[in-house]
A = this chain, B = another copy of it.
């Protein structure tokens, strides 16, 4: 418990420094003038609250905020709003190869059609920014290794819940998702967990959120960061889905507090 608070504080301070750096060099993103004209009240909320405060909160780095915002937009098929956030994500330090890996990851977690639609918008932005194709080739590093005990537990759970009813779905889960997708070096394990959590919250799918939150915390996500993921996403997927995620966090935090 104490240790996790210290970690949180360290991360908090590190992120604060990063934010301070950002602020010096880059102005806040501005919503389109249409927003000011048609919905002046929403314009104030956007400039003062969302970009003026939420994005600057130190509990998550701007880079992580961009990662989960893009995961939410892709999972909800929000192509119209992706343009601005792809640019912001690159400005916030997301690598083109990470955005590529993000889309590929979400093909499995939010469905092929959303991934395919995201590719079209992303190509436009990458072309505009002159990003060379070499930056999109997945790193030629070996596949990541999953923690063997954790993976054995996961496999057993899938076999029990899915194996008897949809054996091929269980097989693809084991052989493609976990033995291949999750081990691709294009994103760290922590980032894949963050992206998966954001996608589940966006889809209103609380059932599998507990598993992925535990996995994220095993991979270094702190309580403070997990809460901030939900707080940040409230603005991007709406309050109701964020609120529905809170009981899952509560339960996982309590279970891990007992164990540690």
Contact = CB atoms under 8 A, between A and B. Distances in A.
Given A243-B207, A244-B207, A246-B161, A235 B41 contact: no
Nearest to A171: B231
The binding surface of chain A is classed by DSSP as helix
A186 interface: yes
B110 A238 contact: yes
B116 A81 contact: yes
A78 interface: yes
Interface in A73-120: 73, 75-81, 100-101, 103-104, 106-117, 119-120
Interface string A157-168: 000011011111
A239 B39 contact: no
B240 A116 contact: no
B79 A80 contact: yes
A107 B207 contact: no
A37 B133 contact: yes
Given A111-B236, A176-B49, A231 B100 contact: no
A258 B174 CA distance: 30
A185 to B, nearest CB: 10
10 contacts: A38-B119, A38-B126, A42-B100, A49-B176, A81-B112, A108-B239, A111-B236, A165-B227, A177-B239, A204-B205
Given A34-B119, A80-B116, A203-B241, 20 more contacts: A32-B116, A35-B119, A38-B126, A39-B103, A41-B184, A57-B168, A73-B113, A77-B77, A78-B117, A80-B113, A108-B238, A162-B246, A165-B246, A165-B253, A166-B246, A168-B227, A168-B231, A169-B234, A172-B231, A204-B205
